[in-house]
């Protein structure tokens, strides 16, 4: 794609094949387990031999995400499959890995239960730091903005420090998306993300991916995926690619809605712990505004206890109680109910694409109703 194109143009055209008269813009999904093989040359004659490693619909999606992230991409059946596949493909017994202490809870549980069990030394560091020496560390995994607390890591500075010590840097880019920041441009070696959330944004599929510019890192990840079989189906890949065309529009509305809600919540004494990296008063604002191209549609706050969160969700007409984030509909998740180590009244709210005035009025009324208890 042209380097001069803006986000909207890039999103619409990413990964599309050359135009052919009589053919659709995005070819429909190819459903196949085996393909016809050349009886003389076998699999060497075609890129498609068997559906687990080979699928043209999947390759188009990988090309699209790779163009947005600025690297080569491999997609997985879910974000968790992508991040655990990356960790298991690159780490060996005796290696040391550092992970965000405030990052996605299932990844921390996986590290404690599985990585440590196979002899990998696991360390946890808050996203906002302070960071220890990276000497002797094989891989530093950063998640920025962190989910669910929304702290931000200084990617250029941390990447430079890690590389000086001989460590690799991987960045979970789920919350930001490649339109919000491009970690490979900021010094990271790998990007990993859940495409389930804002990237595809319709709450109708599971997807994950790993992207990098280094073949020696992509090859073991690709081999791991082929061996373990954690591939997304053709229809999910087609749905995801279809959804990419609107990601610029969706993110713009979600970010604007987040800003509007933050203005409302900041003035309410019955709401505490408000976090959004686009707010000048936020601790992450300085770093986020320097390295992020746009702010996410996700914010967090505390309503004091679980009962008030439930009353708030009951009273709201536009905010649905649901986990995950980044979809078209505004949702809120009380993270403690999943075993996450957050306060009982902590809420992660994901803005949808509703009209901002309607959303602000609804949240304001629901907060008023929930305060009456």
**How, if at all, do strands 168-172 and 208-212 pair?**
unpaired
Q: Do 74 and 179 have their domain in common?
A: yes
Picking from 244, 268, 297, the residue at the C-terminal end of a domain is: 244
Query: Which pLDDT does position 164 carry in this prediction?
Result: 98
Q: Do 232 and 170 have their domain in common?
A: yes
150 torsion bin: left (phi>0), alpha (psi -120 to 50), beta (else): left
Picking from 195, 214, 244, the residue at the C-terminal end of a domain is: 244
Picking from 188, 220, 244, the residue at the C-terminal end of a domain is: 244
Check which CATH number belongs to the domain holding 292 and give it: 3.90.1150.10
Query: Which pLDDT does position 3 carry in this prediction?
Result: 78
* Summary mean pLDDT of the chain: 97
What mean pLDDT do residues 198-220 have?
98
Residue 2 forms part of a structural domain: no
Residue in 325, 318, 326, 323 with CA at minimum distance from that of residue 334: 323
Q: Do 149 and 177 have their domain in common?
A: yes
Query: Which pLDDT does position 179 carry in this prediction?
Result: 98
Count how many domains the chain has. Answer: 2
Residue 117 forms part of a structural domain: yes
Residue 289 forms part of a structural domain: yes
What is the residue range of 40's domain? 7-244
Residue 368 forms part of a structural domain: yes
Q: Do 226 and 264 have their domain in common?
A: no
Q: Do 98 and 132 have their domain in common?
A: yes
Q: How far apart are CA 36 and CA 16, in angstroms?
A: 24
Check which CATH number belongs to the domain holding 183 and give it: 3.40.640.10
Query: Which pLDDT does position 373 carry in this prediction?
Result: 67
Is the distance from CB of 177 to CB of 248 less than 8 angstroms? no
Q: Do 237 and 269 have their domain in common?
A: no
Q: Do 214 and 270 have their domain in common?
A: no
Whether pLDDT at 364 is above 80: yes
**How, if at all, do strands 190-194 and 96-100 pair?**
unpaired
Q: Do 364 and 254 have their domain in common?
A: yes
What mean pLDDT do residues 65-91 have?
98
Buried b (16+ CB within 10 A) or exposed e, 227-266: ebebbbbbebbbbbbebbbbbbebbbbbbebbbbbbeebe
What is the secondary structure of 296-339 as a DSSP string?
-SEEEEE-SSHHHHHHHHHH-SS-EE-SS--SSS-EEEEGGGGT
pLDDT digits (tens, 9 = 90+) for 143-185: 999 999 999 999 999 999 999 999 999 999 999 999 999 999 9
Residue 1 forms part of a structural domain: no
Q: Do 252 and 239 have their domain in common?
A: no
What mean pLDDT do residues 225-241 have?
97
Q: Do 253 and 239 have their domain in common?
A: no
Q: Do 297 and 174 have their domain in common?
A: no
Residue 96 forms part of a structural domain: yes
Give the percent of the chain with pLDDT over 70.
100
| Residue bearing tokens 């220890």 | 132
Measured over the CA atoms of residue 339, residue 341, residue 344 and residue 349, the dihedral's sign is negative
What is the secondary structure of 42-106 as a DSSP string?
BGGG-S-SBTTT--HHHHHHHHHHHHHHTSEEEEESSHHHHHHHHHHHH--TT-EEEEETTS-HH
Q: Report which secondary-structure segment, H or E, holds 231.
A: none
Residue 284 forms part of a structural domain: yes
Tally the residues of the chain: 373
**How, if at all, do strands 121-125 and 96-100 pair?**
parallel
Residues 6+ apart with CB under 8 A from 245: 11, 12
| Residue bearing tokens 């906002």 | 128
pLDDT digits (tens, 9 = 90+) for 130-154: 999 999 999 999 999 999 999 999 9
Return the higher-pLDDT residue of 43 and 308. Answer: 308
Query: Which pLDDT does position 305 carry in this prediction?
Result: 97
Q: How far apart are CA 127 and CA 194, in angstroms?
A: 18
């Amino acid at each position: 794609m042209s380097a001069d194109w803006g986000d909207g143009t890039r999103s619409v055209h990413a990964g599309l094949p050359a135009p052919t008269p009589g053919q659709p813009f995005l070819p429909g999904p190819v459903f196949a387990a085996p393909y016809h093989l050349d009886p003389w040359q076998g699999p060497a004659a075609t890129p498609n031999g068997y559906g687990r490693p080979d699928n043209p619909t999947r390759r188009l999606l990988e090309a699209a995400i790779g163009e947005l992230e600025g690297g080569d991409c491999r997609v997985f059946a879910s974000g968790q499959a992508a991040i655990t596949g990356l960790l298991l493909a690159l780490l060996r017994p005796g290696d040391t890995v550092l992970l965000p202490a405030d990052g996605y809870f299932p990844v921390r549980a996986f590290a404690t239960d599985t990585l440590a069990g196979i002899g990998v030394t696991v360390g946890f560091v808050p996203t906002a730091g302070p960071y220890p020496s990276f000497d002797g560390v094989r891989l530093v995994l950063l998640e920025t903005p962190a989910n669910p607390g929304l702290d931000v890591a200084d990617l250029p500075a941390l990447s430079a420090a890690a590389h000086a010590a001989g460590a690799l840097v991987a960045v979970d880019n789920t919350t930001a998306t490649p339109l919000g920041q491009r970690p490979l441009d900021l010094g990271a070696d790998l990007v990993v993300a859940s495409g389930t959330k804002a990237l595809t944004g319709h709450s109708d599929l599971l997807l994950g991916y790993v992207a990098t510019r280094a073949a020696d890192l992509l090859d073991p990840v690709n081999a791991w995926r082929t061996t373990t079989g954690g591939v997304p189906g053709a229809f999910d890949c087609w749905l995801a690619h279809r959804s990419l065309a609107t990601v610029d529009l969706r993110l713009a509305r979600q970010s604007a809605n987040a800003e509007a809600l933050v203005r409302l919540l900041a003035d309410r004494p019955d709401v505490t712990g408000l976090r959004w990296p686009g707010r000048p008063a936020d601790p992450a604002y300085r770093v986020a505004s320097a390295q992020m191209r746009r702010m996410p549609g996700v914010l967090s706050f505390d309503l004091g206890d679980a009962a008030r969160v439930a009353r708030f969700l009951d009273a709201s007409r536009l905010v649905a109680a649901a986990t995950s984030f980044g979809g078209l509909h505004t949702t809120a998740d009380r993270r403690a109910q999943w075993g996450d180590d957050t306060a009982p009244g902590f809420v992660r709210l994901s803005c949808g694409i509703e009209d901002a005035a309607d959303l602000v009025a609804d949240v304001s009324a629901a907060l008023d109703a929930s305060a009456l208890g």
